[in-house]
């Protein structure tokens, strides 16, 4: 039997990981902030991931004292991660964040939040993935980022399965920012499609979005090549082209004058505001997303502004 794993957070992604690792033979404990008893009885997360049954080796709990594995995956929204870690001592020696975003209170990424609140070794799991695909055992490849390469290699072996293939890197900043910044571009892509501007416009936005993502990440100390990998380009392709992406749906809803359910997590909005406020690199797309979401401009005005920027070499 494989080594035990704790997964903290029973949203769609945390539940999907729990199902996948339980199928792979890991004794898995999935912690839910609420609804643990109902999920245990139904053997399914009917609210967040309906239709995907829990394997017998998947244990559901609402008690943090049940989390005893030496490795825990933190499947919590970025904006909840810092407060949770500050209030919750964890026994795990390694904490793997599955969050994508920048904390609006501190401006920190997930692994920096872990380091701030814990002595555990931090790592980041990110890349192109929808929860429903992982839960259904469809082939998925992700990036595992850890500054300590030996720890990263051990995690890579432990967390890879027959259908979930992990590639590792020590460029934690690049992997984190790739996952955070692609959400900003996904909102913009959703707005393009929601406004009826067409697939050609979306393709142009994605290409220029990747250039913007790379400028921002390199300015923060990332390696340029990381942004062309799974955690940058790979995730960008996925989230800019599918209604399964909450950020894409948010952008499309903005353009149509609609709204998403109030409990929908849209990390790209927080990231866009953070990046636009920093002013550290040329970030017209992030600035446009923040302006659109805050009601300071509409899609037509933003499109006109972007199309009339000075001409320059690619």
170-190 residue pLDDT tens: 999 999 999 999 999 999 999
Mean pLDDT across the chain? 95
Residues 227 and 100 in one domain: no
**How do 94-97 and 49-53 pair as beta strands?**
unpaired
Query: Which has the closest alpha carbon to 50: 140, 164, 161, 136?
Result: 136
Asked whether residue 22 is domain-assigned, the answer is yes
Banded model confidence at residue 262, pLDDT cuts 50, 70, 90: confident
Q: How far apart are CA 70 and CA 72, in angstroms?
A: 7
Percent of the chain scored above 70 by pLDDT? 100
Percent of the chain scored above 90 by pLDDT? 91
Residues 75 and 143 in one domain: yes
Residues 112 and 18 in one domain: yes
Residues 203 and 100 in one domain: no
Banded model confidence at residue 1, pLDDT cuts 50, 70, 90: low
**Is 23 among the residues known to form the active site?**
no
Banded model confidence at residue 241, pLDDT cuts 50, 70, 90: very high
| End position of a domain, from candidates 170, 189, 205 | 170
Residues 105 and 194 in one domain: no
* Structural contact between residues 97 and 111, judged by C-beta atoms closer than 8 angstroms: yes
Asked whether residue 47 is domain-assigned, the answer is yes
pLDDT at 141: 98
| Mean pLDDT of the region 89-102 | 96
Asked whether residue 149 is domain-assigned, the answer is yes
Structural domain including 201 reads: 173-307
36-58 residue pLDDT tens: 999 999 999 999 999 999 999 99
| End position of a domain, from candidates 145, 170, 195 | 170
Residues 197 and 216 in one domain: yes
Q: What is the CA radius of gyration of the chain?
A: 19
* Structural contact between residues 255 and 299, judged by C-beta atoms closer than 8 angstroms: yes
Three-class secondary structure assignment of the chain:
CCCCEEEECCCHHHHHHHHHHHHCCCCEEEECCCCHHHHHHHCEECCCEEEEECCCCEEEECCHHHCCCCEEEECCCHHHHHHHHHHCCCCCCEEEECCCCCCCCCCCCHHHHHHHHCCCEEEEEECCCCHHHHHCCCCEEEEEECCCHHHHHHHHHHHCCCCEEEEEECCHHHHHHHHHHHHHHHHHHHHHHHCCCCHHHHHHHHHHHHHHHHHHHHHCCCCHHHHHCHHHHHHHHHHCCCCCCHHHHHHHHHHHCCCCCCCCCCHHHHHHHHHHHHCCCCCHHHHHHHHHHCCCCCHHHHHHHHHCCCCCCC
Asked whether residue 313 is domain-assigned, the answer is no
Predicted TM-score (pTM) of the model is 0.95
Q: Which is catalytic among the residues 93, 182, 244, 312?
A: 182
Asked whether residue 314 is domain-assigned, the answer is no
| End position of a domain, from candidates 149, 170, 191 | 170
């Amino acid at each position: 039997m494989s080594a035990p794993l704790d997964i903290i957070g029973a949203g769609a992604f945390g539940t999907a990981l729990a199902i996948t690792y339980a199928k792979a033979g890991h004794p898995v404990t999935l912690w839910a902030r609420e609804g643990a008893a109902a999920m245990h009885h139904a053997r399914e997360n009917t609210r967040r991931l309906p239709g995907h049954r829990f394997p017998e080796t998947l244990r559901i709990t609402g008690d943090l004292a049940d989390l005893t594995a030496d490795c825990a995956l933190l499947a919590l929204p970025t904006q909840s991660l810092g407060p949770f870690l500050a209030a919750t001592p964890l026994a795990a020696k390694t904490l793997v964040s599955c969050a994508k975003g920048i904390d609006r209170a501190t401006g920190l990424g997930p692994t920096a939040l872990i380091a701030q609140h814990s002595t555990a070794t931090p790592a980041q799991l990110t890349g192109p993935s929808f929860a429903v695909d992982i839960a259904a055992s469809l082939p998925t490849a992700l990036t595992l980022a850890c500054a300590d390469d030996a720890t990263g290699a051990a995690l890579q072996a432990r967390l890879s399965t027959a259908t979930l293939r992990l590639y590792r890197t020590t460029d934690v900043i690049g992997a984190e920012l790739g996952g955070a910044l692609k959400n900003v571009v996904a909102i913009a892509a959703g707005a393009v499609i929601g406004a009826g501007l067409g697939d050609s416009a979306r393709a142009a936005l994605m290409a220029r979005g990747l250039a913007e993502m790379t400028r921002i990440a390199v300015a923060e100390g990332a390696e340029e090549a990381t942004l062309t990998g799974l955690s940058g380009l790979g995730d960008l392709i996925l989230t800019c082209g599918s209604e399964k992406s909450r950020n894409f749906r948010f952008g499309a809803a903005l353009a149509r004058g609609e709204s998403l359910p109030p409990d929908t997590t849209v990390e790209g909005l927080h990231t866009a505001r953070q990046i636009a406020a920093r002013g550290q690199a040329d970030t017209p797309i992030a600035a446009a997303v923040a302006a659109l979401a805050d009601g300071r401009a509409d899609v037509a005005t933003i499109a006109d502004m972007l199309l009339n920027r000075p001409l320059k070499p690619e």
